[in-house]
Amino acid sequence: MSVQATPLLQVSNLHIDYHSAQGDVPGVTGISFELHAGEVLAIVGESGSGKSTTAAALVGLLAESARVRGGSIRLDGRELLGLGERQWQQVRGVRIGFVPQDPGLSLDPVKRVGAQLVEAMTVHGLPRAVARDRSLGLLREVGLPAVEQLARRYPHELSGGMRQRVLVAMGLANRPALVIADEPTSALDVNVQRQVLDCLQGLAQERQAAVILITHDLDVALQRADRVLVMHRGRVVESGAAAQVLRQPRHAYTRALLAAAPSAQAACVRQRSPAQWALAPILEVSGLHKSFATWRQPGPPAVDDVSFEVPRGGTTSLVGASGSGKSTTARLLLGLERADGGSVRFNGRELLGASRRDWRELRRQIQVVYQNPYASLNPRLSLAQIISEPLQAFAVGTAATRRQRVADLLAQVHVPATLIDNRPDSLSGGQRQRVAIARALALEPELVVLDEPLSALDVLVQQQILELLDELQQRLGLSYLFISHDLAVVRRISDRVVVMQGGRVVEQGVCEEVFSRPVHGFTQGLLGAAVGVPQL
Amino acid sequence: MKRLFLVLAIAILLTAVGWALWPGLFSHADPLLGVPTQALQAPGAQHWFGTDQLGRDLYSRTVYGAGLSLRATLLAVLIALASGIVLGVLSGFFGGWLDAGLMRLVEVLMAVPALLLAMAVITVLGFGTLNIALAVGLSAVASFARLVRGEVLRWRVSTFVEAASACAVRPWTVIARHILPPVAGPVLALAALEFGSAVLAVSALSFLGFGAPPPQPEWGLLVAEGRNYMVTAWWYTGLPGLVVAAVVIAANQLARALQARQGVYR
């Protein structure tokens, strides 16, 4: 960390409100901080804490309803608040680079990534030929392989991690003095997460650029940042050197955050008695095979000879990097995709080749919870409509009894019954995921497939949902197939762990064994790459 | 400024609809009654739009003409809307061969110029307001079908639709509950836009003599009849023409506003 007389960025007493029909809602209230060149500052906090509002103010991209009430943002001594859109264009992308949160939404789907990267430079006046040369260098710098071919691909042909790195490259394209990365890794698995963060951190050191890392992942903050700013309800509750803040937290909120963060070092907590292990497994998968390759687009199969089982009343976790075939496996089991070969036995009954009518009955017993509760609930329906949908589909009960059942289910997942007629948009992310779980439970299934149910949520909320899943499993005797890339979470919830790589199972076994004595090199790498391992 | 245009557009459309529904409220003169002594009079306090060569009040003829013209237009848009939605949903939701077949059909429809297609249809079906509506509607089906198909494709792969399928909700229920409501927005915007072009198409067809026979007042027919008196009586063609133009532009404005609102909610 270099110490200079004048800081690169000075934010003082920034105050932003959001205008709404019910009056003004405070976004951030009086935050101040400074940032020097070559420094990495992490802003941590749960969603709604004002992290993203701060980031948006720094790049001049506040929502239309936002009102700046006061304060100042100075970059190199120049006031940024109150700049017009035209003046912003000379700052944004040139002096301040921005890496947005969602790689799925931030790239133009109909343009090749190389062209988009070149455009990021030519709009600021760089000649096309120079920009093209530099774009390949940038892609190489962020650690992407075979950049010439990659630049000619479209965003949908890249994995999430690759797209995120393309966005990092775009953020850095014009060699900005300040880079703001808004949750750059929250959707990525550990391996890719490490690469993207390495890349950001390396660039900060090499070019003496300042980096603001907005994240809800405390371990990322601890490892990557020089300083940490903890935000809660629009205020900075604690700030200082990363190690100091996160090792000796003074504020109660920081302590709560730290306590909630699952650690990969934690032991496997599940204890199954031999009698429980002796029960016949609820789901047996063997030799499952699926390939999306065609003669025009040859490629390795997405799921190749996958075999595992889910113990009755227990949890099996599928772990692996993105693109390892975890989700495809889940979709095959749910009958949403047709398998090419193998066998899936549920309660001893073969699922592959089951007819449409058979599947209808099976859906009562096998349910699914999706990764993103913002996408899996129809924003136009009320909670009552959403949760009663499966009941309606099977014509269970009358309208009145269905409503009663919805209320019961909401109580089971600890969502206030007063919200029954609300729409999902008035709920927090955690509450939405609870509603999604309630919908999955409506038909009293035996097996629930949980496809990355926590990765879109904050740490504190993750903790609560995990507890809820535990509680429901014990009370209702559910079996879970849990899909995740977060090893700390997997360790906490699983009885069995299945590690997948490139569509194949590379290792599987009882949770404790896999974690304490990983046999396969990939598993060892995965465990080592987990940024959750504190290294201080 | 934008607001002002929108308010103006809505006012124009409401007036036109008022003319169509209750012409008697807006004009007291008989649109069919000619007073030869008052032939070809310029616009004034007595005759707001002037009179034609038979001394009929042009304002009154335009007001009464709205009924026929707008009825045909509305019918055309409804026909296009209904069949477009059915085709689009079938092809977007079920895909496969059905999709391929229907889309080729739509492409054929799009390849033939709309007016030409409408004229061909009328030649087969015969003249008259209903037939005009059918013809114009048919030539607008393609754009509705394409739009609906695109939107259906987009929502069909959304997670909440998959979640509904995983709960064993039947396909038609999924379509009605989860897919059609979000599709409605852009389709309504297109309907407003198509309403504008349908007004124009219906007027063009009646201008060419495919519509209601004289002495029925119809906007396109009024413009056509006035052509012979262009030099001496500019109002005869000009003012009914202006009304058509105003309605078309107003419908466009409304469509744009609807579209902009979509943008906000996406």
Q: Do A22 and A100 belong to one domain?
A: no
Q: Is B109 helix (H, G, I), strand (E, B) or coil?
A: helix
**Position A299 in a domain:** no
My answer on whether A379 and A247 are in the same domain is: no
Which chain A residue shows the shortest CA-CA distance from B163? A376
Best residue of B160, B174, B179, B183 to probe chain A, by most A CBs closer than 10 Å:
B160
CB A330 within 8 A of CB A368: yes
Count of structural domains, chain A = 3
- Chain A and chain B share a number of CB contacts under 8 A equal to 53
Residue B75 CA: distances (Å) to CA of A104, B61, B78, B247 = 42, 21, 5, 16
Between the CA of residue A429 and those of A46, A302, B122, B166, what are the distances in Å?
Answer: 11, 31, 57, 21
Question: Smallest Cβ distance to A389: which of B162, B164, B182?
Answer: B164
Instruction: Report the phi/psi class of residue A344: left, alpha or beta, with left for phi > 0 and alpha for psi in -120 to 50.
Output: beta
State how far the Cα of A135 lies from the Cα of A116, in Å rounded to an integer.
10
- Stronger pLDDT, A2 or B164, i.e. the higher one: B164
Confidence at A341, pLDDT banded by 50, 70, 90: confident
Q: How far is B110 from chain A (nearest CA, A)?
A: 24
**In a domain? residue A247:** yes
Q: Which residue has the tokens 């201080």?
A: A536
Highest mean pLDDT among A81-95, A140-154, B145-159: B145-159
Same domain for A85 and A217, yes or no, is yes
Complex ipTM over 0.90: no
Based on the fold, state whether residues A83 and A183 are members of the same structural domain.
Answer: yes
Q: Chain B residue with minimal CA distance to A443?
A: B167
Which superfamily does B2-14+73-265 belong to? Answer: MetI-like (1.10.3720.10)
Interchain proximity A359–B165, CB inside 8 Å: no
Pair of tokens at residue A151: 């630049």
CB-nearest to A363 from B158, B167, B182 is: B167
Q: Are A44 and A223 in contact (CB under 8 A)?
A: no
Task: List CB contacts of B169: < 8 A, sequence separation 6 or more.
Answer: A389, A390, A392, A393, B177
Sign for the CA dihedral angle at A428, A434, A440, A441 comes to negative
- Looking at A261, A292, A327, the residue that finishes a domain is A261
pLDDT at position A120 over 70: yes
The answer as to whether A449 is a domain residue is no
Select the more confidently predicted residue: A476 or A278.
Answer: A476
Residue B99 pLDDT exceeds 80: yes
* pLDDT tens digits, one per residue of B134-144: 999 998 999 99
Strands A315-320 and A210-215: unpaired
Residue B128: which pLDDT band, with cuts at 50, 70 and 90?
confident
A78 shares a domain with A112: no
**For residue B78, is pLDDT > 90?**
yes
Which amino acid is residue A5, in one-letter code?
A
pLDDT digits (tens, 9 = 90+) for A31-62: 888 888 888 899 988 777 788 788 888 888 88
Q: What is the pLDDT of residues A57-104, one digit of tens each?
A: 888 888 777 888 888 888 888 888 888 888 888 888 888 888 887 666
Chain B residues with beta carbon closer than 8 angstroms to that of A450: none
This prediction has a pTM of: 0.74
Mean pLDDT value of segment A106-111: 79
Segment B59-77 shows an average pLDDT of 90
| pLDDT grade for B265, boundaries at 50, 70 and 90 | very low
CB contact at 8 A, A438 and A409: yes
Q: Tell me what the pLDDT averaged over chain B comes to.
A: 87
Residues A216-235 pLDDT 10s: 777 788 888 888 888 888 88
Collect all residues of chain A within an 8 Å Cβ-Cβ radius of residue B158. 375
Task: CATH number of the domain at A34, please.
Answer: 3.40.50.300
Collect all residues of chain B within an 8 Å Cβ-Cβ radius of residue A364: 168
How far is the C-alpha of A136 from the C-alpha of A151, rounded, in Å? 8
Q: Which of A271-275, A379-383, A462-466, B103-107 has the lowest mean pLDDT?
A: A271-275
Parallel, antiparallel, or unpaired: how do β-strands A66-75 and A9-20 relate? antiparallel
Residue in A389, A402, A409 to test binding to B, most B beta-carbons within 10 Å: A389
Residue A20 lies in domain: 1-90+179-187+210-261
Determine, yes or no, domain membership for A484: no
CA distance A369 to chain B (A): 8
**pLDDT tens, residue by residue, A166-217:** 888 888 888 888 889 887 776 666 777 777 788 788 877 887 888 998 887 7
User: For residue B178, which residues of chain A lie inside 8 Å, CB to CB?
Assistant: 378
Closest to B240 measured CA to CA, from B209, B211, B199: B199
pLDDT at A324 over 70: yes
Does any domain span residue A395? yes
Strand order, beta sheet including A504-510? A366-369, A447-451, A479-484, A315-320, A496-501, A504-510
Given the structure tokens 């050191």, which residue do they identify?
Answer: A205
Read off the amino acid at residue A20.
Answer: S
Neighbours of A349 (CB within 10 A): 11
Q: Which long-range contacts (CB under 8 A, 24 or more apart) does B167-172 make?
A: B167/A363, B167/A367, B167/A389, B167/A390, B167/A393, B167/A439, B167/A442, B167/A443, B168/A359, B168/A360, B168/A363, B168/A364, B168/A390, B168/A393, B168/A394, B169/A389, B169/A390, B169/A392, B169/A393, B170/A393, B171/B93
Q: Is the pLDDT of residue A356 over 70?
A: yes
How distant is the Cα of B264 from the closest Cα of chain A, in angstroms? 10
Residues A103 and A32 reside in one and the same domain: no
The residues facing A501 across adjacent strands are A504
User: Cα A308–A314–A318 angle (5° rounding)?
Assistant: 40
Contact B167 A380 (CB under 8 A): no
Query: Chain A: nearest CA to B91, how far in angstroms?
Result: 20
Minimum Cα–Cα distance from A361: chain B residue: B168
Q: Which letter does DSSP use for residue A229 in this model?
A: E
Enumerate the H helices of A421-495 as residue ranges: 429-441, 459-476, 487-493
Tell which phi-psi region holds residue A498, choosing left (phi > 0), alpha (psi between -120 and 50) or beta: beta
- Chain A residues with CB within 8 Å of chain B CB: 334, 336, 359-360, 363-364, 367-368, 370, 372, 375-378, 380-381, 389-390, 392-394, 436, 439, 442-443
Q: Which residue has the higher pLDDT, A106 or A350?
A: A350
The whole-angstrom separation of Cα A317 and Cα A491 is 9
- Tell me what the pLDDT averaged over chain A comes to: 83
Q: Name the residue among B166, B173, B182 with its Cβ closest to that of A363.
A: B166
Choose among B90, B72, B189: nearest CA to B136: B72
CA A358 to chain centre: 34
Mean pLDDT over residues A493-508, rounded?
Answer: 88
Inter-chain CB proximity A375 and B159 less than 8 Å: yes
Question: Mean pLDDT highest for which of A273-282, A290-299, B241-250?
Answer: B241-250
Q: Which helix (H) or strand (E) holds B154?
A: helix B129-156
Q: Is the CB of residue B70 less than 8 Å from the CB of residue B134?
A: no
Q: Please say which residue of A420, A444, A468 terminates a domain.
A: A444
A64 and A138 fall within a common domain:
no
Going by C-alpha positions, the residue among A527, A514, A519 that lies closest to residue A194 is A527
Share of chain B above pLDDT 90, in %: 29
Do A83 and A1 share a structural domain? Answer: yes
Q: What is the pLDDT of residue A5?
A: 60
**Alpha-carbon distance A135 to A474, whole Å?**
54
- Region A129-146: mean pLDDT is 85
| Interface with B, mutate which of A327, A357, A372, A378 (most B CBs under 10 A) | A378
pLDDT at A438: 92
Output DSSP code: residue A61. Answer: -
Instruction: Using pLDDT thresholds of 50, 70 and 90, give the confidence band for residue B84.
Output: very high
